[in-house]
Amino acid sequence: MKITDKCKNLLNSLKAGWSNPPKDKYIPYKEVLSYSVGGIGVKMLIQMVYYIGLSGTSLLAGSALGLKNGDLVNLNLIATVICIFLVPLRGMIIDNTRSKKGKFRPYLLYTGIPTAVLTTAFAFLPFESMSYNQKLWSLFAVYMLLQLCYPFYDQSYTTLAQVMSPNSNERADVITVSTFVYSLAPTVIGFIVPIIAGFTGGMEHINAYRVIMPIFAILGCALGMFSYTGTKERIIVAKDYTPKVPFFHGIAAGMKNKFQWARSITAWCVLLQMGIGNITTWYFYYGIKDVLNLTTEEQGVLNGTLVTILGASATPAMILTPIIIKKIGKRNLVIMYTVCNILCMVGMYFSIRNIWLLYVFVWLRGFFAAFPIISDSAMNADVLDYQQYKTGERLEGLMAQAVTFIGTFVTMGVTYFVQTVVMQNHYGLVDNYDDLYMASFREPLSKAMILIAIAGYALSLIPFTTLYTLTEEEHKSYITVLKIRAALEDYANNELSKGQLEEAKKLYSDAVSRYEECLLKLKSTNSSREKRKLKKSIKALEIIVNENRRFSSPEMIKKVNKAKELISHSVEELYSISEPTMEAYNKAKAMSEESYEEIKAKNKMLKEASKELDRFHKKAFKYIEARKLVKQYEYYLDWNAIFGKEVIETQTL
């Protein structure tokens, strides 16, 4: 085929899928573009937030404001304790969001503007006339106010990609494309910021931030709106699904998810690498001026160039991630890039005295460190899908709260160890940041950070390889089951979409056929490799095939009997309340939206109707769940009548 023909086919494909999703996909191309361009703005604004950090290694806090590393570490510990309460609150708010705009998109609107305002306002505080303590506490105050806004903003954008499609591969593709596009933000900032700083006194002077922050914070906030206005959320749930999850119920459900524990413990081990990122600043900001004898302006230009090239190391990794995932799966990809990261850090350790060879290994580490940008988001979405399969609930906000709570203290411990015990107490980094211009000071400090990071990555392989066993085939089966369950539930409620039940029947029938085919092949093959592959496929297909016996296990029988016992009593008996009808809510939902006044009136009515329903859901949650379980049990009794096919008994391999 000629190149012109290929280009023509590509253009036709883009045109056909621009407004309507391509075949077997869920997301049109224009939505991917909106999400990606919005990501440039989101990441641009978040990059400005990161300057306002409670760490002596921050050029703004340490060098520009002259704050001591020890004071900043102490304030960071206080902030971490306060955030223990903010994180679960944020999770509860997200998991209990009921909005026609979705579960995450509203927060892109509500939290982006305050984040931009706070970031910009901070740069213009009168630091020149402020005392040391005033600088310290104003930094802390703004930092804490930002904790109320930007985590919502960042999490909403990141998690939005995980609910735009129920297809794992499509999600990975969207994350890849968007990450590739929004990586322009840190790339541009990494190049332009040091150059601007070089002509405004350097990154060690507050005047640089008074130019940088307003420009990129306001521009970032404006671009971020594309991800709000041009996207949709698509979660596979029944049409009567209500996102109301009690706080402790959501936390308890998340604690039972072994894949969540695997990823969390792995991440805690990797925290030990938090100090190695400083080497880029220590060597390619301070170090280049010392080694190459540069002026401040030359230092800014060269630092911007080197940081930009380092940023470019992520691009090939992001392009390769979905390809590698399709070849070897997410689990094997994590193992691969972890081992490669360790090898790169070993190279950094032994090339610490050769700044350009060190740069090569830092670049290679940046390449391998970029794989998690896409794979982590894709894996998190897979874990959430598994959680929905196990419990029937979407827990993007609350599921991780238990491990986040524990992780907070782990982070505090690691931060104290790295920044106070090692950097400050052992190597003497207090507020003497100019000492980083000397190789005799930065070299032993850098080597220590590298060794600690190597230990963290090596340890991370143990929990990940032993606990995270979710395969791509198994995840695909979980998604299929969720589609079947949603169709059955909508069938029982007489709310089926066109072709929904037929799709569910076909999915189930195809799985049964493939299952039988794999069993026959397993009996006839002599290849050990082929047998292993078939056994994996059979294990994954059993998830779908056994769905018709969902309520046959002793555990589910016990749960159903317990649920029947609970709903044998009335709501009034159990909770001394009456169950509200949906009349007021449905009436409000049907109101017109043709004018601003009508929209305002509708929102007011919806809010009032929702309050009554929310109070009932909160108080009678167990009763509602029990009634739902019994209802599911009843329509599963009609499985054969609906699907019209008995399934062969699954076999233990």
Average pLDDT, stretch 49-71? 80
| pLDDT attached to residue 461 | 95
Per-residue pLDDT of 565-621, as tens digits, reads 998 888 888 888 887 777 777 787 778 877 778 777 877 787 777 777 777 777 887
User: Exposure string (b/e) for 352-362, b if CB count within 10 Å is 16 or more?
Assistant: beebeebbebb
Other beta carbons within 10 Å of 330? 23
| pLDDT exceeds cutoff 60 at 400 | no
Under a CB-based contact definition with an 8 Å cutoff, are residues 56 and 68 in contact? yes
Q: Give the whole-angstrom CA distance, residue 629 versus residue 563.
A: 7
**Separation of CA 451 from chain center:** 28
| pLDDT attached to residue 451 | 96
Mean pLDDT lowest among 156-160, 196-200, 245-249, 500-504? 245-249
Across 1-5, 294-298, 326-330, which has the greatest mean pLDDT? 326-330
Per-residue pLDDT of 92-121, as tens digits, reads 666 555 566 677 788 888 888 899 999 999
| pLDDT attached to residue 621 | 79
| pLDDT attached to residue 334 | 94
Q: Give the whole-angstrom CA distance, residue 21 versus residue 191.
A: 36
- Residue 168 burial by CB count (10 A; 0-12/13-18/19+): exposed, middle or buried? buried
Under a CB-based contact definition with an 8 Å cutoff, are residues 560 and 630 in contact? yes
Side-chain-side CA neighbours of 316 within 13 Å: the count stands at 9
- Residue 299 burial by CB count (10 A; 0-12/13-18/19+): exposed, middle or buried? buried
Residues 6+ apart with CB under 8 A from 300: 194, 195, 196, 197, 198, 199, 202, 203
Under a CB-based contact definition with an 8 Å cutoff, are residues 288 and 355 in contact? yes
Structure-block tokens of residue 612: 């009554």
| pLDDT attached to residue 633 | 87
| pLDDT attached to residue 239 | 43
Q: Give the whole-angstrom CA distance, residue 511 versus residue 481.
A: 10
| pLDDT attached to residue 184 | 74
| pLDDT exceeds cutoff 90 at 429 | no
**Confidence band, pLDDT 50/70/90 cuts, at residue 341:** very high
Q: Look over the chain and give the mean of its residue pLDDT values, rounded to a whole number.
A: 82
Is 513 or 652 the better-scoring residue by pLDDT? 513
Furthest-apart CA atoms within the chain: distance in Å = 83
Mean pLDDT lowest among 236-245, 386-395, 515-524? 236-245
CA dist 220 to 70, 112, 136, 225, 340, Å? 32, 9, 27, 9, 34
Side-chain-side CA neighbours of 437 within 13 Å: the count stands at 11
Average pLDDT, stretch 2-22? 68
**Separation of CA 215 from chain center:** 27
Residue 68 is which amino acid? K
Mean pLDDT lowest among 16-20, 51-55, 264-268? 16-20
| pLDDT exceeds cutoff 90 at 405 | no
**Confidence band, pLDDT 50/70/90 cuts, at residue 10:** low
| pLDDT attached to residue 514 | 92
| pLDDT exceeds cutoff 70 at 56 | no
Percent of the chain at pLDDT > 90 equals 20
| pLDDT attached to residue 94 | 62
Average pLDDT, stretch 355-367? 94
Other beta carbons within 10 Å of 504? 23
Residue (of 176, 423, 70) closest to 278 by Cα position: 423
**Confidence band, pLDDT 50/70/90 cuts, at residue 345:** very high
| pLDDT exceeds cutoff 60 at 29 | yes
| pLDDT exceeds cutoff 80 at 141 | yes
Mean pLDDT lowest among 50-59, 381-390, 461-470? 50-59
| pLDDT attached to residue 5 | 60
| pLDDT attached to residue 264 | 87
User: Which long-range contacts does 87-91 make (Cβ < 8 Å, 24+ apart)?
Assistant: 87/151, 87/401, 87/404, 87/405, 87/408, 88/247, 88/251, 88/398, 88/401, 88/404, 88/405, 90/151, 90/152, 90/155, 90/397, 91/250, 91/397, 91/398, 91/399, 91/400, 91/401, 91/404
Is 127 or 6 the better-scoring residue by pLDDT? 127
| pLDDT attached to residue 401 | 60
**Separation of CA 173 from chain center:** 15
Handedness of CA 547, 536, 261, 95 (dihedral sign): negative
| pLDDT exceeds cutoff 50 at 237 | no
| pLDDT exceeds cutoff 50 at 243 | no
